[in-house]
Amino acid sequence: MRGESVVVVGAGQAGCQVAVSLREQGHRGPLTLIGDEKAAPYQRPPLTKAYLAGETDLAGLVLRQDSYYTDHGIQLVTGERVVGVDRSARVVVLGCARTISYDHLVFATGARPRPLPVPGAEHVLNLRTIADADAIRQKLEGRSGLDVVVIGGGFIGLEFAAVVRKLRHEVTVVETQPRVMQRAVSETTARHLTTRHRSEGVTVLTGTAVASVGDGFVELTDGTVLVADLVVAGTGVIPNVEIAQRSGLACDDGIVVDAHLRTVDQRVHAVGDCARFASPLTGGLARLESVQNATDQATSVASAILGAAEPYTALPWFWSDQYDVKLQIAGLTDGYDRTVTVGDPAEGRFSVFCFRGDRLLGVEACNRPIDFLMARRILEAGTSLTPEIVSQPGFDLRASQQQAA
């Protein structure tokens, strides 16, 4: 297996990590990494933060220097789109009609922005790729006081809003849900983030949606018309599954894989944003969009290709930086029915413990990194921690675990 050929379709965080992990774990066979962007594999999270703010450039985002791929015998193909996969012949077909054979194939095709289904959507920019970020930077460069409308109050939308506000532009965030980050965080955390944005002068509108976009304006469903020099959407993504689907693989909001991240074809895996995998945490299929998930799944698949397959059980975790707020989330909190807050949101340092019954699902830590680190350990170990324990006056997560040890 160490000498078999591997083709990785998708050169983002997950795809690059598959290639790196294969070489680190001793794979010696032909290894091809294919990306449809012209740039070498790079980090996406800084696009909404340091890159957009002009604090770093593309050289500061690349995951590996060009020499790494040459030195480690990784054939990096950039600016080429995969148009088909013939699983019976085990070949990948590129848009240029070139074919590449494989013994093992990994889909790391990621996701793309969800289209905005309103009139005038052509006036809206997305923020997913380096090209997207460059287009936005070009509109902002050397200017201040622009009216910027952000559609979507999720991770990307709020991070973008924070950076643009720091650049002294007028910012309005439009969110269809009753609160920002409705599907990602608790009401306590969402309220704190909203308050923080508003304290910086950002207008946050919830419970309303965009009806249409025109040249210089955004009309909302409640009849409000916003002046807009720039409109950017952060309304979620759609996994890129079309190539896998055409090759006969099962897809359902992602490429369906088992606990080992394998498709029904044992020589084909999927990782990262495009993979819908059997998760022990949810008891069903899950698809996660995070750097941690991408890199951990990539490492797991590399091991599987080399004959050391283990079920993927890594604990999910996420983060977001907005102004001076560092939000860190450990675990998956979907379906919680009770929360306990430790610390004081008014002071900007608190953690929200999310439970289903007496089971801890996850912890949202705002400027409390110790709570985040300890929560990860607790969740990974399956240690019992009930709402009653957390609700005790003066509860300290680190101290409680030290006593338990």
> In this predicted model, what pLDDT tens digit does every residue of 63-100 receive, in sequence order?
999 999 999 999 999 999 999 999 999 999 999 999 99
**Structure token pair of residue 360:** 């801890």
Residue whose tokens read 């059997």? 278
What pLDDT is attached to residue 383?
85
Per-residue pLDDT for 403 more than 60?
no
Question: Percent of the chain, pLDDT > 90?
Answer: 90
Q: Write down the pTM of the prediction.
A: 0.94
> In this predicted model, what pLDDT tens digit does every residue of 146-191 receive, in sequence order?
999 999 999 999 999 999 999 999 999 999 999 999 999 999 999 9
| Closest listed residue to residue 395, CA positions, set 379, 377, 371, 361 | 371
Q: Are 18 and 8 in contact (CB under 8 A)?
A: yes
What pLDDT is attached to residue 393?
81
User: 62 vs 18, 46, 278, 335, CA distance in Å?
Assistant: 16, 11, 31, 37
Q: Are 350 and 339 in contact (CB under 8 A)?
A: no
Question: Percent of the chain, pLDDT > 70?
Answer: 98
What value does the mean pLDDT take over residues 258-264? 96
> In this predicted model, what pLDDT tens digit does every residue of 288-310 receive, in sequence order?
999 999 999 999 999 999 999 89
What pLDDT is attached to residue 3?
85
Comparing 13-17, 50-54, 73-77, the range with the smallest average pLDDT is: 50-54
What pLDDT is attached to residue 229?
97
Beta strands (DSSP E) in 310-400 are 317-322, 325-331, 338-344, 349-356, 359-366
CA-CA distance, 177 to 159, in Å (whole number)?
Answer: 18
What pLDDT is attached to residue 398?
74
| Closest listed residue to residue 322, CA positions, set 165, 170, 206 | 165
Q: How does the average pLDDT of the chain come out, rounded?
A: 95
Beta strands (DSSP E) in 193-348 are 203-206, 210-214, 217-220, 225-227, 230-233, 237-239, 255-257, 268-270, 275-279, 284-286, 317-322, 325-331, 338-344
Neighbours of 298 (CB within 10 A): 28
Q: Quote the DSSP letter at residue 25.
A: T
What value does the mean pLDDT take over residues 220-232? 97
What value does the mean pLDDT take over residues 254-263? 97
User: Quick one: angle between helices 369-381 and 397-404, nearest 10?
Assistant: 40
User: Using 50, 70 and 90 to split pLDDT, how confident is the model at 382?
Assistant: confident
